[in-house]
């Protein structure tokens, strides 16, 4: 099947996306052979049945019909069996390819610069990683495979008929080309614009539905829910219209296929009758050349829908490759210097070279360790300026050091840049100035797996999945046992909450933790961070949404124990529990970016920084 109706960009995107499926070529060849055997059995069944009926009308000895009778049954059984094998093998190839492509897309998004990922609508991402990846995989089963099978069986059928009558074989070849090439090309050209509009409508529908689901409460309060529903209904109507429009070219292709089949049969009758009368063809052979094309056109009947699928898959491939290119991916998704805001340490699992996090881990004052060398990592920031891409610097002049066994707290008013600092230290946002290093390597030059194996970040917007409590903890480390999960939840202050659950750690949570309070959600994310083997913890307001006493106790425990030998850097509004920190860094700003106002121990700041002492006194009241 020609790709000419597709634009050069679409052809390149489709070839690249098919390459990214990483198809098992031997299994695909097996699927083609099975499909060819199935359709070939249909052709053989028609030819043999035609010969048997015509020969039986001549009343030969019964034994002459025995082989043909067995062949009819054989072809009949083989037709269904081979089609089942072809479906089984081809779908396995396509589903494995979809899984591979979807994994690469997910990996690319996880490794992408944060400004690229944050600029995507969640509904658009869902459409590209869902329907678009499926459409790329469908090209294997619904376009490439039918085209290959039709080409092989069509060629074999033409050779068979031409062996009986050269003229009829030539006419059959022309009719098969009309049905198998001309009609699909016309279908592709006619369906292309409809498919483009339908693809855009599908993306808008997914994005609109996601926006309504996630913002239902805000839309209801603001009175915008009716407008959102009306917009969604309009998108659905446009989608329905474009679906109807896309069905018309498929019907035209089917009509062309039937026309070509009728011409082939009519030509076979005219030429065959003339040859039979002339004595150059047996009457039995006439029945074979007339009825055999009926089965051969079963293959071309699938090429009209295959052409539509090719257009659909090409458009999906363009969107998928645009997503990959926007995230900085090549033909295979590699690792980059930045990653997804949600769960920076999701990849931190068993096997990290610095997985030892017990009391014997390296303490402050130890020599610098390099990740590549397998020692305990040290996270250092020097003259660091932070800010989101395409925005100004929010904080600058930051010097920090986090190592196993050392705890640092960063405090300051809301909006001062504390969360942006954590994201920059975790390699999720590129530094605006200065550098962040893990051991001897700049974070910007380390791959995502190395960074996330050393540093775990609990961001305030990290996702809670709609699965069990235990599986949510296994996001950080896949081998967390139920007993470990209970211990981790207890350390995060969720022991009583866990006791109240009917199924304990096997209790199912709603999507994005809608059944949890804000404080429970934060502590569950904290337990997930504690489950990671990464030796350095970056915690964003672990006591948020908790009552002051509970928040202080939780933060104090984290700082006092240094999480059993890990390095801890946390940002917080509460100052009372910071006596357990090795160092407290106070950020502030009068005009322009925030800077470090003071640093030292909690006691030192109480004595030397009046505003710090005043804030602690206000908390006490």
CA distances in angstroms from 240 to 5, 176, 197, 200, 244, listed in the order given: 24, 33, 11, 13, 6
At 97, list the tokens: 């390819």
Phi, psi of 532 (to 5 degrees): -70, 155
Task: Give the tens place of pLDDT for each residue, 452-473.
Answer: 888 998 877 778 888 899 999 9
**What's the pLDDT score for residue 85?**
95
Helix extents (H) in 433-547: 448-454, 469-473, 482-491, 495-500, 518-531
Task: Give the tens place of pLDDT for each residue, 43-93.
Answer: 999 999 999 999 898 888 888 888 889 999 999 999 999 999 999 999 999
Q: Residue 324: how many CB atoms within 10 A of its CB?
A: 25
Nearest-angstrom CA–CA distance, 392 and 594: 12
**What's the pLDDT score for residue 300?**
86
**What's the pLDDT score for residue 232?**
81
At 8, list the tokens: 């050069």
Q: Sheet holding 379-386: strands in order across?
A: 395-402, 379-386, 433-438, 441-442
**What's the pLDDT score for residue 200?**
63
Q: Which of 363, 359, 362, 382 is nearest to 374 (CA)?
A: 362
**What's the pLDDT score for residue 336?**
36
Coil, strand or helix: which one is 328?
coil
Q: Sheet holding 536-540: strands in order across?
A: 455-458, 536-540, 567-572, 407-411, 583-588, 595-600
**What's the pLDDT score for residue 198?**
62
With the C-alpha atoms ordered 498, 499, 501, 505, is the resulting torsion angle positive or negative? positive
Nearest-angstrom CA–CA distance, 400 and 425: 10
**What's the pLDDT score for residue 9?**
84
At 479, list the tokens: 């081998």
**What's the pLDDT score for residue 347?**
38
Q: Which domains does the chain possess?
A: 8-326 (1.20.1560.10), 371-463+524-620 (3.40.50.300)
Q: What is the DSSP letter of 95?
A: H
Q: Tell me which residues of the chain have a pLDDT lower than 70.
A: 1-5, 112-124, 189-203, 243, 245-250, 253-254, 327-375, 511-514, 561-564
């Amino acid at each position: 099947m020609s790709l000419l109706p597709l634009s050069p960009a679409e052809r390149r995107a489709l070839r690249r996306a098919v390459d990214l499926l990483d198809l098992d070529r031997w299994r695909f060849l097996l699927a083609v052979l099975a499909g060819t055997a199935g359709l070939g059995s249909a052709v053989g069944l028609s030819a043999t049945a035609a010969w048997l009926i015509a020969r039986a009308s001549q009343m030969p000895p019964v034994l002459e019909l025995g082989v043909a009778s067995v062949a009819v049954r054989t072809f009949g059984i083989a037709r269904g069996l081979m089609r089942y094998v072809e479906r089984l093998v081809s779908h396995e190839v396509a589903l494995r390819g979809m899984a591979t492509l979807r994994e690469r897309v997910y990996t690319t998004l996880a490794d992408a610069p944060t400004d690229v990922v944050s600029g995507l609508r969640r509904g658009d991402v869902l459409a590209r990683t869902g329907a678009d990846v499926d459409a790329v995989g469908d090209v294997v089963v619904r376009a490439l495979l039918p085209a290959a099978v039709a080409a092989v069986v069509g060629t074999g059928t033409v050779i068979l008929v031409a062996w009986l009558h050269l003229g009829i074989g030539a006419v059959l070849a022309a009719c098969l080309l009309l049905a198998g090439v001309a009609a699909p090309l016309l279908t592709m050209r006619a369906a292309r614009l409809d498919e483009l509009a339908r693809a855009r409508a599908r993306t808008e529908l997914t994005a609109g539905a996601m926006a309504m689901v996630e913002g239902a409460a805000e839309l209801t309060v603001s009175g915008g829910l009716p407008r959102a529903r009306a917009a969604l209904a309009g998108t659905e109507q446009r989608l329905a219209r474009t679906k109807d429009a896309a069905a018309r070219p498929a019907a035209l292709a089917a009509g062309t296929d039937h026309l070509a089949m009728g011409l082939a049969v009519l030509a076979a009758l005219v030429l065959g009758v003339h040859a039979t009368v002339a004595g150059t063809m047996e009457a039995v052979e006439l029945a074979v050349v007339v009825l055999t094309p009926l089965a051969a056109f079963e293959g071309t009947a699938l090429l009209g829908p295959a052409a539509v699928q090719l257009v659909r898959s090409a458009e999906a491939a363009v969107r998928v490759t645009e997503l990959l290119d926007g995230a900085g991916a090549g033909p295979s998704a590699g690792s980059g210097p930045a990653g997804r805001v949600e769960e920076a340490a999701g990849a931190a699992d068993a096997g990290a070279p610095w997985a030892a996090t017990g009391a014997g881990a390296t303490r402050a004052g130890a020599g610098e360790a390099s990740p590549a060398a397998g020692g305990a990592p040290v996270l250092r920031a020097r003259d660091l300026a932070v800010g989101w891409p395409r925005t100004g610097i929010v904080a600058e002049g930051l010097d920090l050091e986090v190592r196993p066994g050392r705890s640092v707290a960063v405090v300051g008013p809301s909006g001062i840049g504390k969360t942006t600092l954590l994201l920059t230290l975790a390699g999720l946002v590129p530094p605006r100035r200065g550098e962040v290093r893990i051991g001897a390597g700049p974070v910007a030059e380390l791959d995502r797996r190395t960074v996330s194996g050393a540093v775990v970040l609990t961001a305030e917007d990290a996702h809670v999945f709609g699965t069990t409590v235990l599986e949510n903890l296994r996001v950080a480390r896949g081998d967390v046992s139920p007993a470990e999960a209970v211990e981790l939840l207890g350390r995060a202050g969720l022991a009583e909450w866990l006791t109240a659950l009917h199924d304990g750690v096997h209790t199912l949570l709603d999507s994005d933790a809608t059944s949890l309070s804000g404080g429970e959600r934060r502590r569950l994310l904290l337990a997930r961070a504690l489950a990671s083997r990464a030796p350095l913890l970056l915690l964003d307001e672990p006591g948020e949404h908790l009552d002051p006493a509970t928040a202080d106790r939780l933060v104090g425990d984290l700082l006092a124990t240094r999480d059993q030998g890990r390095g801890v850097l946390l940002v917080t509004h509460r100052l009372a529990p910071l006596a357990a920190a090795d160092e407290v860094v106070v950020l502030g700003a009068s005009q322009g970016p925030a800077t470090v106002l003071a640093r030292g121990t909690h006691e030192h700041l109480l004595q030397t920084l009046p505003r710090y002492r005043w804030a602690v006194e206000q908390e006490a009241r």
